[in-house]
Every structure is written in structure tokens, then in C-alpha cells.
Amino acid sequence: MNDLDRMNEILSKKLSEIHLLPRGQTLSGVVVSNRAKNTVVVLREIVRKIPKYNRYMRSRSKIHAHVPDGVSIQQGDVVEIRETRKISKTKSWIVTKILKRGEIREITQS
């Protein structure tokens, strides 16, 4: 059992212990910040087709997600997040799974 499987097992146990039931949408994205306590910022890149111009538009959104105690997530990790009840002013998502460990990469602002 590698580190990723062990972390996902710990994460699923922690989710069952706390009273935050994931419901609603499921998204995935790259962690760009993990500085706040029990919070990560997940960058989600969206590509939409605009039929009128037959072109694609790329946009980004940053989502604040809750991380249970005892789970370590670094910048560059690809995570799955699910919607839950409001936790704070900006957090209404919770990390449910770490999909891939990644290297830290620089995110350019556009």
C-alpha cells in the first residue's frame, strides 16, 4: 500500500467521523495553496465551447475546500472535492480523495 492509498484511507475514515456529509456536485482540481489551517485552495480550469463563434473559452475558478485533521495535502496535488453544507464564509466544499500527488508548479495569473 503506497502513500496515496494510505492517505485516501485515512481521509475516508475522517469523513465518516466528522458530521459533514458530502452531497451535490463532485469536482476535481489542482491544489494551489495549503497555507490556511484545515483549508486548501483548489484551482479548477473550465473549457467551454461558444457555438456562435465555434471557439473555445478557457476560464479558471478558485474554490476553498476543507481538509480533515490528520490528512496532508501539498501544493500540486490533484484532488477530488464534493459539495457540503456551509462551513465558513468561503468554504462549502470538502476534499474527499487525493487523485494524484504532484510537483509544485507555478500558476500564472491571467
Where along the chain do its domains lie? 3-100
Residue type, 8: N
Which pLDDT score is estimated for 63?
97
What's the pLDDT tens digit per position in 52-94? 999 999 999 999 999 988 888 999 999 999 999 999 999 999 9
Instruction: Give the global pTM.
Output: 0.83
* Bridge partners, 100 (sequence order): 78
Give the C-alpha distances (Å, rounded to integers) separating 105 from 32, 33, 44, 68, 92: 9, 11, 15, 24, 26
* CATH top class, domain 3-100: mainly beta
* Whether residue 28 has pLDDT greater than 60: yes
